Amino acid sequence: MRRSKDDRALLEGPHLVAEALAAGIALEEVLVAPEFLAGRSEDDALRRGLAALPEPPLEVAAGLLDELGDADSPRGLLAVARLPRPGVEGLPRRPDGVYLFLERIQDPGNLGAIARAAEAAGAAGLALSPETAHPNHPRALRGSAGSLLRLPVAVGVDPDSLDRHLTAGRDGLEVHWTALLPRGGTSLWRAALEGTLVLAVGSEGQGLSAGILRRAGLGITIPLAPPVESLNAAVAAALVLFEIRRRADGPAPPRRLGG
Amino acid sequence: MRRSKDDRALLEGPHLVAEALAAGIALEEVLVAPEFLAGRSEDDALRRGLAALPEPPLEVAAGLLDELGDADSPRGLLAVARLPRPGVEGLPRRPDGVYLFLERIQDPGNLGAIARAAEAAGAAGLALSPETAHPNHPRALRGSAGSLLRLPVAVGVDPDSLDRHLTAGRDGLEVHWTALLPRGGTSLWRAALEGTLVLAVGSEGQGLSAGILRRAGLGITIPLAPPVESLNAAVAAALVLFEIRRRADGPAPPRRLGG
């Protein structure tokens, strides 16, 4: 099936379709297998939601759904959604917001996993460099478990425009560009991570470009036990985002009292 | 190609084969494409290592390697390694060691990612329940980026035998079973994570079994921003393991001084 490269996205399986309905995203086509319509009671609410659509879902054989989908098994339900992706203007300006700038993250599954962790950690949005995977790629959407349907995501972003966008109308605001480095940066546990922050994450193979490294006022590194030299980009991004979240959440843990 | 279900493992690509040589793992067969032998100078050390093997590598066409391998592209090099996986007796007894108990983690890629994060965070080893993916699965090995070649991993482990193994000969030692829960547990930021600790992680779909939940003296949950309800198992496990590592590493971060 043609990959969605524009403003349409293929949503595969009951989970993603339910998340799209809950997020108020317009579904343009819904294909459903008889097995899904007669299926598990936990899908009742979703079936009612589909029945209430302006256009009723189209019933097709499960085997045809498998052919149309990208997943191993779309579990009886596929939908095409209108999901336009704006440029940098699509990002909210949030005081002390944490933004991710993803540079050349080409694996859609990795993009999805990063989006999921970013939403879970309360990030303000994702800015994707031109060479990064498209957020409407079916594998990105599945890997995000719905986060790419909700989190603000801007595509084709260059760093200057992101800076201009975040500081527009906010005199004196400084954007803290922070580069996630496999080695040589300040330890994540000791790094200052405050204010309006853009965390730049590159691909495991290529790392960040020289332009981003020059722009970053701070490079941070996750301390790793040798001989491990790097982490998967999604795990690394999640560790930084949740470290920021942890500091915002409050005090140090108590000592264990007994067993 | 037949999946390694026993004590043999298929290593695909120069990175994994180099990691195996560095770890002193016996290679039983090495298949190499002419393109690899004539290839990038950064692989020179690996080529010398292969030339020094008791049995010289077998040259085969790159297209045949692609057929034999599980990866999209084994990049000109495949090896079969002897990699027997012991039961619980294969785990070291480390004072204050952190062990993972993985229950029904069926996706080999997830197992590999967890192993990579576990080694990077300094975990003592992995104990795999009988229904968990095999650590010699090609996708697990690739996803681990070599960690499954080095980290102690025990297969077919039941919780009682793990307890007995870790406490054998250490009178009064208590093993702190800690369950990672999608909701309802103590916040990770506030949880006591000390002593000899077994972190139990279940699959995203099924969670942990009742037997493990009864055994756990502590349930912990990673605070998530709504509406996110869960994280990928590898990201979740990494967040807990690195929180333990962070506390071991030292003091709180400084305030940001200037830009």
- pLDDT tens-digit profile of B151-171? 999 999 999 999 999 999 888
Indicate whether B204 pLDDT > 90: no
Q: How far is CA A14 from CA A19, A73, A178, B221, in A?
A: 9, 11, 38, 26
A162: buried, middle or exposed (CB in 10 Å: 19+, 13-18, 0-12)?
buried
Q: Are residues A252 and B252, on separate chains, in Cβ contact within 8 Å?
A: yes
Q: How far is A185 from chain B (nearest CA, A)?
A: 14
> Which contacts (CB < 8 Å, 24+ apart) does range B18-21 have?
B18/B45, B18/B46, B18/B49, B19/B145, B19/B146, B19/B149, B19/B150, B20/B79, B20/B81, B20/B146, B20/B149, B21/B46, B21/B49, B21/B50
pLDDT of A66: 83
Q: How far is B86 from chain A (nearest CA, A)?
A: 22
Domain boundary assignment for chain A: 8-82, 88-248
CB contacts of B14 in chain A (<8 Å) are none
CB contacts of A193 in chain B (<8 Å) are 253, 256
Nearest to B259 among A217, A245, A255 (CB): A217
Indicate whether A4 pLDDT > 70: no
Q: Which CATH number fits domain A88-248: 3.40.1280.10, 3.40.50.620, 3.20.20.70, 3.30.1360.180?
A: 3.40.1280.10
Q: Are residues A116 and B176, on separate chains, in Cβ contact within 8 Å?
A: no
Q: How far is A85 from chain B (nearest CA, A)?
A: 21
Q: Are residues A239 and B234, on separate chains, in Cβ contact within 8 Å?
A: no
Average pLDDT over residues A210-222: 96
Average pLDDT over residues A61-74: 80
CB contacts of B119 in chain A (<8 Å) are 225, 228
Indicate whether A234 pLDDT > 50: yes
CB contacts of B189 in chain A (<8 Å) are 246, 249-250, 253
Q: Are residues B246 and A247, on separate chains, in Cβ contact within 8 Å?
A: no
Query: What is the model's pTM?
Result: 0.92
What is the CATH number assigned to the segment(s) B8-82?
3.30.1330.30
Nearest to B231 by CA among B222, B218, B220: B222
Shortest CA distance from B150: residue in chain A: A227
Tens digit of pLDDT for each residue in A144-167? 999 999 999 999 999 999 999 999
Who has greater pLDDT, A251 or B33?
Answer: B33
Task: Count chain A–chain B contacts defined by CB atoms under 8 A.
Answer: 123
Confidence category of residue A95, pLDDT binned at 50, 70, 90: confident
Who has greater pLDDT, B243 or B56?
Answer: B243
Report ipTM for this prediction: 0.91
Return the CATH superfamily for domain B88-249: SPOUT methyltransferase, trefoil knot domain (3.40.1280.10)
Q: How far is A119 from chain B (nearest CA, A)?
A: 7
